[in-house]
Amino acid sequence: MATPHNEAKQGAIAPVVLMPGDPLRAEFIAKEYLEKAVCFNRVRGMLGYTGMYHGIPISVMGHGMGMPSMGIYSYELYHLYGVQVIIRIGSAGGLSERVSVKDIILGMGASTDSNYGRQYELPGSFAPLADYELLKLADATAKEQKLRCHVGNLLTSDVFYEERPEVSRRWSGMGVLAVEMETAALYMNAAKAGKRALAICTVSDHLLTGEALGSEERQTGFRQMMELGLQTGIRAAQNLL
């Protein structure tokens, strides 16, 4: 069923979807890694493709910036297109002395300053968490590939240009590893839909040290994240078969 945001026909999207923020990165992954990739969506420039990776159908689609955008696309994939697994692959800003630029973080949880969860009218605060089986798969794969990888809490923030410089250190003081802008919405949507989700993020810059990846380093670091996401995705897909 097509939506105002996705023109894909039923059956055009695989049960496992990788989602980078940038639709051009989705196109890059499709052309670089997938065989027989077919574009299923061009609405609003949010490119989506389905192809084969080591003989397993995998889809990749951009999710845009921020929780509202992730909220729309992941909701529709889960509820209208029968997607079972979404793996976010994106960048994050380091908040902890434990992490350095180029490190990969598996988001076990996603703290947030957003009101996105208010829609559920819960009598308290919901803790958005990754699917444990996906988390285990990704962690095991990262160890096999000898990647610098951390498992921990992300901060999903509605604010990119923060006016209060002390805020980063407050979250850091609670053990949060990095900040990004989409994971909490993905995890909440997955929880409500009874589906599975995981965020895999590369630390592209560090808010406390001022370090930042150059363009060439981003390419190398993001490739590691993409390949980790793809390997985790096919393992998850095999478990669904």
**What CA–CA distances, in Å, run from 204 to 63, 91, 180?**
18, 6, 11
Q: What is the DSSP string of 155-172?
A: EE-S-SS-S-THHHHHHH
3-state helix, strand, coil in the chain (%, to 5): 35, 25, 35
Query: 112: which strand partners?
Result: 156
Chain CA centroid to CA 85, Å: 11
- The alpha carbons of the chain give a radius of gyration, in whole angstroms, of 17
Place of tokens 């350095």: 100
CB-based contact 102:200 (threshold 8 Å): no
* Active-site residue, 22 included: no
CB-based contact 90:201 (threshold 8 Å): yes
Cα 108 to Cα 122: distance, rounded to the nearest angstrom: 22
Q: Extract the tokens encoding 220.
A: 């190398």
Q: Which of 113, 139, 158, 205 is catalytic?
A: 205
Known catalytic residues are 205
